Amino acid sequence: MNLTERFLKYVTFDTQSDEERGTTPSSPGQLVLALELEKELEAIGLEDITLDDNCYLMATLPANTAKKVPTIGFIAHLDTSPDMSGKNVTPRIVSYKGGDIVLCAEENVVLSPVMFPELNDYKGQDIIVTNGKTLLGADDKAGVAAIISAVQYLKDHPEIEHGKIRIGFTPDEEIGQGADHFDVEKFGCEWAYTIDGGQIGELEYENFNAAGAKVTFKGLNVHPGYAKNKMLNASLLAIEFASWLPVSQRPEHTAGYEGFYHLTNMSGTIEEASLSYIIRDHVRTLFEEKKEQLRLLVKRMNEIHPGSTTLELRDQYYNMREVVEPKKYIVDLAFEAMEAVGVKPLVKPIRGGTDGARLSFMGLPCPNIFAGGLNFHGRYEFLPVNSLEKSMQTIIKITELLAQKS
């Protein structure tokens, strides 16, 4: 089974994570995929294969050199985003010549370079697309496929000298829980790389500081005909509260290192309403200021309407740069590997997060490397085959260069 075939197989597994379920893994399909991967790793001949009750799959490719080479790891996640269906994914390979790609004629779903100009970068290449009704799942089944194909290649080519390599596959990354039960000590690496980036060349060791917030409003319902000076409409309180946050700090108005407040869910009646937000910023001080702003606005609402408003605020992860930058050589190694396989490295901050962010603060420095996909989490997701192949080649080259330098 070659790399592309492997990826096309993996996307047929429905592995959407589910934030409401409260289990690990949060969806049964993730375990089904993990069991299939376990069989593949056994067939390849890897060692120390373990799949625990929480759906963390780990394995070892032993060193084939007497040199003292640091043990490193490669990590990807099993789940796909709950933002769109990952069931009955029907991918197809398109030899892209330019122009529009009709994904679903009956629903007029078209992948167009007018909306997605990055398509123009892949003229003359084979790209894998959806049928316009589901996401594709390149986030992060492309990473899973690249890692497994890389270790199989190294197993089949013992002339490539390398140290001990650990691989790991995690559940529930898309709902921020991918590192919850990851056993760093058991994984046993000096550092690792998540293969969870987007376009070819991405190399990231900075990410958002992240928190989640839920603001709840209590109202008072009376008959609207007799409501004067009595009714307190919780839904209107929520609308008013949302209007107090700066418009310029919404995701649709930010880029680069700019942070944001993102309203992800709202519900409401007269009696009770709620707003759910994610708060993001690369700079820790600005991140803390954003959280404090929410606290102040809740205080302000309670001064106007005593006892009406409560805030639940939870940090999710922090910027891995604090941990990785003192060990910048692990980023430099990936940079060199990309150049060696003909990829131009694109070092930039992640406007999001990966398992690697939390793992870095758990003692496993973990930069992020591209897997090749674009337009994640939706029907317009696509994966250039060449980008996937270059991700696999980068993994192989990292292990080769590390052995040469040891």
Q: In the predicted model, what is the mean pLDDT of residues 328-349?
A: 96
Q: What is the pLDDT of residue 20?
A: 85
pLDDT per position as a tens digit, 281-323? 999 999 999 999 999 999 999 999 999 999 999 998 899 999 9
Give the helix/strand (H/E) hosting 302: helix 284-304
- For the cut 80, the answer to whether the pLDDT of residue 404 exceeds it is yes
Q: In the predicted model, what is the mean pLDDT of residues 340-353?
A: 92
- For the cut 80, the answer to whether the pLDDT of residue 178 exceeds it is yes
Contact 84, 150 (CB under 8 A): no
Q: In the predicted model, what is the mean pLDDT of residues 198-206?
A: 95
Q: What is the pLDDT of residue 217?
A: 98
Q: Point out the annotated binding site for Zn(2+).
A: 77, 139, 174, 196, 377
Nearest in space to 30 (alpha carbons), one of 79, 100, 63:
79
How does DSSP classify residue 120? G
- Which of the four CATH numbers 3.40.50.2300, 3.40.630.10, 2.120.10.30, 3.40.50.970 does domain 3-206+320-405 have? 3.40.630.10
User: Whole-structure pTM over 0.75, yes or no?
Assistant: yes
Give the separation between CA 11 and CA 3, rounded to whole angstroms: 13
Give the separation between CA 39 and CA 58, rounded to whole angstroms: 12
Three-class secondary structure of residue 133 per DSSP: coil
Q: Point out the annotated binding site.
A: 77, 139, 174, 196, 377
The CA distances from residue 2 to 145, 152, 392, in Å, are 9, 10, 11
Structural domain boundaries in the chain: 3-206+320-405, 214-317
pLDDT per position as a tens digit, 28-61? 999 999 999 999 999 999 999 999 999 999 999 9
Q: What is the pLDDT of residue 294?
A: 98
pLDDT per position as a tens digit, 348-375? 898 887 889 999 999 999 999 999 999 9
pLDDT per position as a tens digit, 65-123? 999 999 999 999 999 999 999 999 999 999 999 999 999 999 999 999 999 999 999 99
H helices present in 135-216, as ranges:
138-156, 184-187
- For the cut 80, the answer to whether the pLDDT of residue 190 exceeds it is yes
Q: Which residues are catalytic?
A: 79, 173
Q: Within its chain, how far is the Cα of 196 from the centroid?
A: 6
Radius of gyration of the chain (CA): 23
- Which of the four CATH numbers 3.30.750.24, 3.30.470.20, 3.30.70.360, 3.40.190.10 does domain 214-317 have? 3.30.70.360
Q: What is the pLDDT of residue 1?
A: 87
What distance separates the 2 farthest-apart alpha carbons in the chain?
85
Q: In the predicted model, what is the mean pLDDT of residues 132-152?
A: 97
Q: What is the pLDDT of residue 210?
A: 93
Q: Sheet containing 165-170: which strands, arranged edge to edge?
A: 47-51, 57-61, 165-170, 72-77, 191-197, 368-370, 202-204, 346-347
Percent of the chain with pLDDT over 70: 100
Tell me if domain 3-206+320-405 and domain 214-317 are identical in fold: no
Q: What is the pLDDT of residue 298?
A: 98
By the 10 Å C-beta count (0-12 exposed, 13-18 middle, 19+ buried), 243 is classed as exposed
Mean pLDDT of the chain: 96
**pLDDT-derived band at 176, boundaries 50, 70, 90:** confident
